[in-house]
Amino acid sequence: MTQRSILKQLQRVTLQSQGLSKTHSFGKGKQAVLAALEHLGYIQIDTLSIVERAHHHTFWTRIPDYQIGYLDQLAEERKVFEYWFHAASYLPIRDFRYALPQMLLFKRGEARYFNNVDPKSLSYVKDRIRLDGPQKARDFISTGKKPGSWWDWKPTKVALEKLFMQGDLMVSGRSGMEKIYDLTERVLPSTVNTTEPSPLEFAEYLVETHLRAYGATTVKQIIHLKTGKSLRKDVEFVLQTMLEAKKVQQVNIDGMPPIFVLQALLDNTIKKPSPNIRLLSPFDNSVIHRERVEQLFDFAFRLECYIPKEKRQYGYFCLPILFGDVFIGRVDCKAHRKEGQFELIHLHIENKHLEVASWLEPFVQAVERFAVFNRCHSIKLTQVSPSALANELKQAFDR
């Protein structure tokens, strides 16, 4: 096989593993949400609400009948929990024990953060929750006149986060985006395995999670934002063991690190994804590893909301546009919920090889669906690049 054909196969392996090749990869309804989360390993939580928040957006992309309430219900049923993967995330409760190494790192004071928290604040917050029940951060705002005392907002907020990160507290629910904290023993089901995994078990978990979710991965992607030379060695050992057992195959492409691919996926013919448009969240699992997307799909993507306006190239909150197995561009958009209007502030079409007619109708349908998901009933197209496409696109939305 040529390197180009290998690359195309890796693209399809990735999209199929991510649940982006067909419409109902994980089924329908609430059970599909749990199935998707258990398959992908995590879904990143983000508070930005320019469009529907990232965790809901990511599920909706894969589950057409997704409803925001499904995730809340699964949290109440204790089938999912919140913790840290590479960022704040929802994870399946079955994987709770693999969060323990990081929790214990915080408990021992070996993490980079929360090492100088006042023990009085920790005791106060934990005792308050034990006696008064679940609490939000705002419940600890002092009504006294002496800000800065150890029970004031800042110390207790820090104490809440440390107790959460070290596993003494869990998020028992949310009020909007506000987290509600409770003692772990009152949240975590008694049937959940709480045995700390060995370093090798943790490495196996990371390798298996990445291979299941992406089909193909690299050592760098597996240990993304994880620290320690020993972890890298353990990950390399697990991959070598899988190579010897012919569970994975190593693929080499010029300019890329060694890629490890599930053998079962290579043995089967991966069909071309359906020619649908998917408007992806900037925090979607499929694009969160920016280097992976650029290497596999030749699509350089950066979220520009965190950089100064004058330095932005595409816009504040761009969504990657995936058509089948090709990224055709990105769109900076915003849901004006009070007005019920979904605005495409600037649509950037970057793929010059595909005829507009091939993706135009699916794109319009995808935007219309996404507008409804964002509780908007009208669509406004403000700017298009290249400008030569503007009239054709505006006419398509006016039909």
Tens-digit pLDDT profile for residues 222-257? 998 887 789 999 999 999 999 999 999 999 999 899
At residue 126, the pLDDT reads 96
Domain ranges of the chain: 302-398
pLDDT (average), residues 198-221: 97
Q: How far is CA 321 from the centre of its chain?
A: 16
pLDDT exceeds 80 at position 146? no
pLDDT exceeds 90 at position 22? no
At residue 153, the pLDDT reads 53
pLDDT exceeds 60 at position 149? no
pTM: 0.94
Residue type, 103: M
Q: How confident is the model at residue 328 (pLDDT cuts 50, 70, 90)?
A: very high
At residue 242, the pLDDT reads 98
At residue 144, the pLDDT reads 46
At residue 197, the pLDDT reads 97
At residue 142, the pLDDT reads 57
pLDDT (average), residues 191-202: 97
pLDDT exceeds 50 at position 206? yes
At residue 300, the pLDDT reads 96
Lookup: tokens for 179: 């987290």
Who wins on pLDDT, 23 or 363?
363
Q: How confident is the model at residue 116 (pLDDT cuts 50, 70, 90)?
A: confident
pLDDT exceeds 80 at position 219? yes
Q: How confident is the model at residue 140 (pLDDT cuts 50, 70, 90)?
A: confident
At residue 113, the pLDDT reads 84
Q: Are strands 169-175 and 88-92 parallel, antiparallel or unpaired?
A: unpaired
Q: Distance between CA 133 and CA 92 in Å, rounded?
A: 24
The pLDDT tens digits for 269-288 are 778 888 999 999 999 999 99
pLDDT (average), residues 26-47: 97
At residue 141, the pLDDT reads 72
Q: How confident is the model at residue 220 (pLDDT cuts 50, 70, 90)?
A: very high
At residue 341, the pLDDT reads 98
The pLDDT tens digits for 55-102 are 999 999 999 999 999 999 999 999 999 999 989 999 999 999 999 999
pLDDT (average), residues 377-389: 96
Q: How confident is the model at residue 150 (pLDDT cuts 50, 70, 90)?
A: very low
pLDDT (average), residues 340-350: 98
